[in-house]
Amino acid sequence: MALTACLAFVSLSASLGAQVAATPTRSNPAATAKPTKKQKVVDFTGSLGFSQTNGNASALATNVTNKVKVTLAGWSFQQDLAFFYGEANEKVNTNFWNAGLRGDRTVANRISVFVASRYDRNVVQGIENRFQQGFGVTVKAVEEPRQKLHVALGGSLFSQQLTEGSVAKVSRAFPAARAAVDFRRQLTDLAYVQQTAEFLPAIGDTASSYFVNTESAVVAPLSKSVGLKVGYVIRYNSEPPTRNSVQLRAMDTFFSSGLTLTF
């Protein structure tokens, strides 16, 4: 009988052990939660495109762009550059520079303030040098993993120097209001489309003048860090300068394609 009782006890213990093993246990949410993705401190994107034609006609085109963003404890600092240069039959037909520095400070959920400084040069449109000092507020209207929409309002102060022989209606220095949007949509982890636009109406004695600047970009990855970028830039000046008694065109466009590097 003792042997029978012992066998029964072993059988009962094994049955209870199997039930405990089969019963799901409540896991610690903190232990099973996915680790938060660490935000990158430095983001860099650069692109380069080049083409050349020789023979019955000669042409050369170069485009270089880059963006660097540094994020630290509620602050973000950004530097960007766009350069387009072209020649046809040994004559310069494109010489455009656009570079800027910007600092943003988060002051509330999805709201930040910024100060910015820009430089641009567009010889074909009669602009030898133009400086822009700006400030404003940015609202993150949409901030999702796959897409974002930022809206900015603020003001700018322009100071410009025209090319030799060029005359403009606007003053050498003038203030302007600024409204801008920045939309980006991730198609995959590495591919995306982006559209930016800004409207800058002059204020004061040059109130009839305004600028519209847009940039469209599509990036398709070739590898984790290298991709193919296609871009289209528009620069519109409602009252372009007159050079040597010839009215310059109000709009310049720049189409570019090339390799882009991101890390």
Residue 253 lies in a domain: yes
| pLDDT surpassing 50 at residue 254 | yes
Q: Is residue 159 part of a domain?
A: yes
pLDDT digits (tens, 9 = 90+) for 102-125: 999 999 999 999 999 999 999 988
Residue 64, beta-bridge partner list: 48, 83
Rounded mean pLDDT of 98-102?
A: 97
Give the position of tokens 């010839």.
246
Domain-embedded: residue 96: no
The answer as to whether 128 is a domain residue is yes
Domain limits for position 125: 101-262
Terminal Cα distance for the chain, rounded: 76
Residue 134 one-letter amino acid: G
Instruction: Spell out the residues 6+ positions from residue 17 whose beta carbon is closer than 8 angstroms to its own.
Output: none
- What CATH number does residue 205 fall under? 2.40.160.10
Number of domains into which the chain is organized: 1
Confidence at 206, pLDDT banded by 50, 70, 90: low
Domain membership of residue 139 (yes or no) is: yes
Cα dist from 174 to 155, 157, 171, 213, whole Å: 11, 6, 6, 18
Is the residue at 13 inside a domain?
no
Task: Using CA atoms of 191, 70, 154, 231 in order, give the dihedral in degrees to the nearest 10.
Answer: -30
**Residues, the chain:** 263
Greatest Cα pair distance, the chain, in angstroms, is 121
- How far lies 85's CA from each of 27, 164, 213, in Å? 61, 20, 18
Is residue 20, in this structure, part of any structural domain at all?
no
Do the domain assignments include residue 56?
A: no
Region for residue 110 given its phi and psi (left: phi exceeds 0; alpha: psi -120 to 50; beta: otherwise): left
Model confidence at 207, in pLDDT bands (50, 70, 90)? Answer: low
Lowest mean pLDDT: which of 46-60, 132-146, 209-223, 233-247? Answer: 46-60
CA distances (Å), origin 252, targets 84, 100, 103, 159: 12, 20, 28, 20
Q: What is the pLDDT of residue 30?
A: 47
Mean pLDDT of 154-173: 89
Q: Residue 259 pLDDT > 80, yes or no?
A: yes
